[in-house]
Each structure stands twice: as structure tokens, then as C-alpha cells.
Amino acid sequence: MNQKLQHIGLRSSAPYTHEPLPEGKWIRLLHLEPGVSDDPICCELIATALEDAPPYETISYCWGNPSDTRTILCHDQPFSVTVSLFQALRRFRRNTEPRLIWADAICINQTSGREKERQVSFMDQVYARGECTLIWLGEAADDVDTEGGISLVTEFN
């Protein structure tokens, strides 16, 4: 386990397992705890009916290599996510206040084919109901002109 996570009082070393969702259009929202820099990423999942969901944001990102993972804490238990999602959560979390987001790899139980099938059937509605979609393209490489790219994108708006 990551040394940075060892100093935190884990409830259990067993990985987090999702609680089943009720039938119908229910989703889980990720309550992302605030943090800075290399603080461990800590979150909790909140189940809600889609139509009753509080304001939230969605994340769009490239899943990346499924075998290249990092550990976050979900309900004080270890949870593996891809490097890309780990970086996105680290960049999108706020310093002093929590953020409510929806990220498919965490909010959908990826070990349940039945749940994945149900959730994917109304994923368009999950994104549509979000206040905005945060897009993660990855960390900038040293040799990439990110400012030029951002200028180009703003010209098209």
C-alpha cells in the first residue's frame, strides 16, 4: 500500500466494495474531500435517485492503462483507480471545500455487469443533469505549448 496512505487510520485494509443501488435511475455521486498537492485523495460515495440529485459535476477523461493504478481512499478504505483518473481527481479537488462529482470508474460498480449495463443505459442523462463536465486530457508534457493550445480553443468559442 502507498506509504502516504499508511499514516491514515484505515478502517480496513480490504478494498472498498460498492453497496448495491436501488432499482430505477439511481446513481452514486463522489463527495471529493478537499486537499492540496500530495495529500491523499479521500472521498465517499452518496447514492441518490437521479431526479433528486443535488448539483454535481461530471468528469470526462481517458481511462488509460487499467493495470497502471493508484490508490485513493473511499469511505476510509483503499480503492484503485487508473493514473489518469487519479491525476484528474488531484487536479479537480478544491483546497478548502469538498466537490460533488460523478466519475464512471468509481461511481459505477465496475465488477457488476448488471449494474454497468443499467447505468450505461441512462449515462447520457447523468451527464445532461450535471452542472458542467470537467475534461481531463492528462498532465502537460514539458515540450507541449499548452498556452498556445488554450488560446486556439478560446478562438473557436
Distance CA 100, CA 43 (A): 10
pLDDT of residue 54: 98
Distance CA 27, CA 108 (A): 8
pLDDT of residue 14: 86
Counting residues of the chain whose pLDDT is more than 70, the rounded percentage is: 86
Distance CA 13, CA 15 (A): 6
Contact 75, 41 (CB under 8 A): no
Distance CA 40, CA 6 (A): 10
**Residue closest to 46 by CA, chosen among 29, 33, 34:** 29
Mean pLDDT over 6-18 rounds to 68
Distance CA 1, CA 10 (A): 11
pTM summary value: 0.83
Q: Where does the pLDDT of residue 138 fall: very low under 50, low under 70, confident under 90, or very high at 90 and above?
A: confident
116: buried, middle or exposed (CB in 10 Å: 19+, 13-18, 0-12)? Answer: middle
Distance CA 157, CA 144 (A): 22
pLDDT of residue 143: 63
pLDDT of residue 8: 47
Contact 53, 39 (CB under 8 A): no
